[in-house]
Amino acid sequence: MSTTLHTFENGTALAEGLADAVSAKLAAAIEARGAASIAVSGGSTPKAFFQALSRRELDWTKVTVTLVDERFVPPENERSNHGLVAANLLQNKATAAKFLPLYHAAATAEDAAVKASRSAAAVGAPFDVVVLGMGTDGHTASFFPGGTRLKEAIDPATPRGVITMEADGAGEPRLTFTFSSLEDAGLLVLHIEGDGKKEVLARAEASGDEAEMPIRAMLRRATSPLQIYWAP
């Protein structure tokens, strides 16, 4: 498994550079098979990237956008990643894209995960683009240290799909694609910003258990080369 570090002078330059790389990959997929798929992460980091990507000239009607993970809340909840993507990515040119939610108004997070797995089965196998984030605890997606189903989530033998996850620090129950759903994306990206996250990455790249810093599963075992995008 290989990683490549792409360093930018600031977040704005990174957002534009990442939007260029992602839109090129999506356009190539549309050219090759008439469709493209992208799974993005939530959190605070990706907002400027989403806004830059939303302005790129693409046949967005052929693009399916989904989430790497989601909090088990409806889109109108301020914690919703769907809400974040709707407000920042599904705008401008990208308004025409299809969105595939992970959250479903179901009795339990487990019921929602089953529905999300079913609807996602026809989309990402593999995804054309996956953009991961990373928490200061070394989690990515909803692969949290101490997570209820972490071992299952990062096990390469676990099938593609969406599973639930609960963990201290995760807030609500989470819905997350499994490692096997994400690690072979056509373009696999880790987007982090700030010196603090750079230090967390350095710790993750050192020796230690994947369970301690689950981003290590991607750094060590992803099939696709991991493109790390960083700005101070």
Residues contributing to the site for ligand 6PG (CB under 6 A) = 41-45, 68-69, 81, 133-135, 140-141
For ligand 6PG, which is the closer residue by CB, 79 or 93? 79
- In the complex, what is the shortest distance from the CB of residue 28 to ligand 6PG, in angstroms, rounded to a whole number? 25
| CB-closest chain residue to ligand 6PG | 133
For ligand 6PG, which is the closer residue by CB, 134 or 228? 134
Q: Give which of 197, 168, 162 is closest to 182, Cα–Cα.
A: 162
Residue for token digits 């995804």?
127
Q: How far is it, in rounded angstroms, from Cα 52 to Cα 89?
A: 8
> Alpha helices, DSSP H only, in 55-178?
81-88, 109-120, 150-154
- In the complex, what is the shortest distance from the CB of residue 132 to ligand 6PG, in angstroms, rounded to a whole number? 7
For ligand 6PG, which is the closer residue by CB, 53 or 134? 134
Whether residue 142 contacts residue 175, with contact meaning beta carbons closer than 8 Å, is answered with yes
For ligand 6PG, which is the closer residue by CB, 30 or 189? 189
CB 210: neighbour CB atoms within 10 A?
21
- In the complex, what is the shortest distance from the CB of residue 68 to ligand 6PG, in angstroms, rounded to a whole number? 6
